[in-house]
């Protein structure tokens, strides 16, 4: 029987994402000057205020106030009428040293035996319904908001746009779990107060439907473009007005958008947030590693969709389990448990091995903190960092390494696929 499935996304200007980006900017700068830094940094943003808290073990000193303001400015909170502005907001730091009780469970005499930074379970998921092996509803939700942000920054159309926004897409699937149409699209975007409420709403609705959605449609592969029909139900700024937004409209916290960060409710989630954490925290690194596994297995043709789970005990290097679920879509003559055994032999899931395989000790995390940690394009880029002593360092790093299809040939060989 056909069914509907919904996913949402939030923009870089959403208060929770502002908090995520500030936290990850700190992680990047600590790692840039001391790759062995241990960081667990949380951020709270509200009207005119930023609060930084957490635990850090590092040999470098950072001007955390400046780094927080840099992020806020880049996002676009640069006007006093937003009631949250990069130059004038207060920034309070309550960051302190990491507990030695935790650190002794992570660091070992042999680097390869580095223990997991916490207990817990992490999930990775991939599906072949999109080119980036992500669930379609979430992929479209991200694209809508990235297009809104690009238009806002260009400053040529929809000049009333402000940084905060949310989107939501509902897809109808057939009995074979294939998307057949887009049922509804929700877009709520913060905006200037530029007229009476009825006129503002009509203008924003028309611009979203006539300009943003067609631009998103052109970004997806041809076989998915047909899902954009005249029968889509649109809810654009359904409250009627969205002038007050961002941290002034809603307090933001690091790690509160974990479903947006991952698979939009498809697959599963272990509950641990990513942003603000260095890669010794398996909440982050193992979630990336399981995505890498799932994506390479699906791309190799092992199954149409795959969910991978791994779990750890704090201070222990070897995972307590690796689990695979193909949801009945396997294309190889193996049970899911047999596939999991092959995964265990192909991918070393000890924390140190994950860090090395995916190059996670590099400062690559600010880019992950908005529009999803999964389904992104890996690229090599140069980034300049500055510490609190005025030193600068330019590094060449590779982002989103867990999205690379670099294990497809090894997977095909292990599973006897041509």
Q: Are 124 and 157 in a shared domain? A: no
pTM, full prediction: 0.96
**What percent of the chain stands above pLDDT 70?**
97
Residue 390 is assigned to a structural domain of this protein: no
The torsion of the CA quartet 251, 38, 383, 163, rounded to 10 degrees, works out to -10
Q: Are 305 and 411 in a shared domain? A: yes
Q: Are 365 and 260 in a shared domain? A: yes
CA 322 – CA 327 distance, rounded (Å) = 16
pLDDT computed for residue 102 by the predictor: 58
Annotated binding-site residues for L-methionine read: 55, 98, 250, 281
pLDDT computed for residue 45 by the predictor: 98
Q: Are 281 and 265 in a shared domain? A: yes
pLDDT interval class at 111 (50, 70, 90): confident
Do residues 148 and 161 lie in contact, with contact meaning Cβ atoms separated by under 8 Å?
Answer: yes
The structure tokens listed for 232 are 């889509």
The structure tokens listed for 274 are 């990513």
pLDDT computed for residue 106 by the predictor: 64
Q: Return the H-helix or E-strand segment holding 168.
A: strand 161-173
**Residue 298, exposed/middle/buried by CB under 10 A (0-12, 13-18, 19+)?**
buried
Q: Are 269 and 350 in a shared domain? A: yes
Residue 388 is assigned to a structural domain of this protein: no
Mean pLDDT score, 390-399: 97
Residue 206 is assigned to a structural domain of this protein: yes
Q: Is the pLDDT of residue 30 over 90?
A: yes
Annotated binding-site residues for Mg(2+) read: 16
**Tokens 């929770």 identify what position?**
16
Domain that holds residue 192: 3-9+135-245
The structure tokens listed for 389 are 């002593």
Query: Is 108 strand, coil or helix?
Result: coil
34-64 confidence digits (pLDDT tens): 999 999 999 999 999 999 999 999 999 999 9
136-147 confidence digits (pLDDT tens): 999 999 999 999
Q: Are 402 and 262 in a shared domain? A: yes
Determine phi and psi for 149, rounding to 5 degrees: -65, -40
User: The dihedral of CA 279, 56, 389, 255: what is its sign?
Assistant: positive
How many domains, the chain? 2
Please give the mean pLDDT across all residues of the chain. 96
Determine phi and psi for 103, rounding to 5 degrees: -60, -35
1-12 confidence digits (pLDDT tens): 899 999 999 999
pLDDT interval class at 295 (50, 70, 90): very high
Domain boundary among 245, 277, 306: 245
Q: Which residues contact 41 (CB under 8 A, 6 or more apart)?
A: 23, 26, 27, 52, 53, 54, 56, 95, 254, 276, 277
CA 381 – CA 355 distance, rounded (Å) = 19
pLDDT interval class at 328 (50, 70, 90): very high
Domain boundary among 212, 245, 278: 245
Do residues 1 and 168 lie in contact, with contact meaning Cβ atoms separated by under 8 Å?
Answer: no
pLDDT computed for residue 399 by the predictor: 98
pLDDT interval class at 100 (50, 70, 90): low
Mean pLDDT score, 349-358: 97
Q: Are 290 and 360 in a shared domain? A: yes
pLDDT computed for residue 116 by the predictor: 87
Residue 392 is assigned to a structural domain of this protein: no
What is the Cα Rg of the chain in Å?
22
Residue 230 is assigned to a structural domain of this protein: yes
Q: Is the pLDDT of residue 113 over 80?
A: no
Q: Are 195 and 280 in a shared domain? A: no
Domain boundary among 245, 271, 286: 245
Q: Is the pLDDT of residue 105 over 60?
A: no
CA 209 – CA 206 distance, rounded (Å) = 5
Task: Name the residue among 348, 327, 338, 340 with its Cα closest to residue 285.
Answer: 348
pLDDT interval class at 108 (50, 70, 90): low
Q: Are 192 and 270 in a shared domain? A: no
**What percent of the chain stands above pLDDT 90?**
94
Residue 273 is assigned to a structural domain of this protein: yes
pLDDT interval class at 286 (50, 70, 90): very high
- For 343-404, give the DSSP string: HHHHS--SHHHHHHHHTTTSS--GGGGSS-SSSPPPEEEEEEEE-TTS-EEEEEEEE-GGG-
Determine phi and psi for 69, rounding to 5 degrees: -65, -35
Annotated binding-site residues for ATP read: 14, 164-166, 241-242, 250, 256-257, 273, 277
pLDDT computed for residue 138 by the predictor: 98
Q: Is the pLDDT of residue 115 over 90?
A: no
- Rounded to an integer, what is the distance from CA 215 to the centroid of its chain? 22
Q: Are 155 and 241 in a shared domain? A: yes
**Tokens 């979203």 identify what position?**
208
Q: Are 302 and 368 in a shared domain? A: yes
Q: Is the pLDDT of residue 103 over 70?
A: no
Annotated binding-site residues read: 14, 16, 42, 55, 98, 164-166, 241-242, 250, 256-257, 273, 277, 281
**β-pair type (179-191, 233-236):** parallel
Alpha helices in 34-80 (DSSP H): 64-75
Q: Is the pLDDT of residue 188 over 90?
A: yes
Domain containing residue 373: CATH number = 3.30.300.10
Annotated binding-site residues for K(+) read: 42
Mean pLDDT score, 85-96: 97
Alpha helices in 250-376 (DSSP H): 258-261, 282-300, 336-346, 351-358
Residue 168 is assigned to a structural domain of this protein: yes
pLDDT computed for residue 107 by the predictor: 64
Residue 91 is assigned to a structural domain of this protein: no
Q: Are 266 and 181 in a shared domain? A: no
Determine phi and psi for 164, rounding to 5 degrees: -80, 135
pLDDT computed for residue 1 by the predictor: 86
pLDDT computed for residue 112 by the predictor: 72
């Amino acid at each position: 029987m056909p069914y509907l499935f919904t996913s949402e996304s939030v923009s870089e200007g959403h208060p929770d994402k502002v908090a995520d980006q500030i936290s990850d900017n700190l992680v990047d700068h600590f790692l840039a000057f001391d790759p062995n830094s241990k960081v667990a940094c949380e951020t709270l943003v509200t009207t005119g205020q930023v609060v930084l808290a957490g635990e850090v073990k590092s040999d470098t000193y950072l001007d955390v106030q400046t780094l927080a303001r840099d992020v806020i400015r880049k996002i676009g909170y640069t006007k006093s009428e937003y009631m949250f502005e990069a130059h004038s907001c207060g920034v309070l730091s309550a960051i302190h040293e990491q507990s030695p009780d935790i650190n002794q469970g992570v660091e070992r005499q042999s680097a390869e035996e580095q223990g997991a930074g916490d207990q817990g379970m992490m999930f990775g998921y991939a599906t072949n319904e999109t080119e980036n092996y992500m669930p379609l509803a979430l992929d479209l939700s991200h694209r809508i908001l990235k297009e809104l942000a690009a238009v806002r920054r260009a400053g040529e159309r929809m000049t009333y746009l402000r940084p905060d926004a949310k989107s939501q897409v509902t897809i109808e699937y057939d009995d074979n779990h294939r998307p057949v149409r887009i049922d509804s699209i929700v877009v709520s975007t913060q905006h200037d107060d530029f007229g009476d409420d009825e006129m503002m709403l009509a203008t924003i609705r028309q611009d979203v439907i006539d300009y943003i959605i067609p631009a998103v449609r052109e970004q997806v592969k041809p076989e998915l473009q047909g899902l954009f029909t005249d029968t889509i139900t649109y809810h654009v700024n359904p409250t009627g007005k969205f002038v007050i937004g961002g941290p002034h409209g809603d307090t933001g916290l690091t790690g509160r958008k974990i479903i947006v960060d991952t698979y939009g409710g498809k697959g599963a989630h272990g509950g641990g947030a990513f942003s603000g954490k260095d890669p010794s925290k398996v909440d982050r690194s193992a979630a990336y590693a399981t995505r890498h596994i799932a994506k390479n297995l699906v791309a190799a043709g092992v199954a149409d969709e795959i969910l991978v789970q791994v779990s750890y005990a704090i201070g222990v290097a070897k995972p307590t389990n690796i689990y695979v679920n193909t949801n009945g879509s396997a294309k190889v003559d193996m049970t899911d448990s047999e596939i999991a055994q092959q995964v265990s032999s192909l991918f070393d899931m000890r924390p140190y091995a994950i860090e090395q395989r995916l190059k996670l000790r590099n400062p690559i995390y600010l880019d992950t903190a908005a529009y999803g940690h999964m389904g992104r394009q890996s690229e090599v880029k140069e980034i300049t960092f500055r510490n609190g002593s005025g030193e600068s360092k330019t590094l060449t790093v590779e982002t989103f390494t867990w999205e690379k299809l670099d294990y497809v040939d090894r997977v095909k060989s292990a599973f006897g696929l041509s």
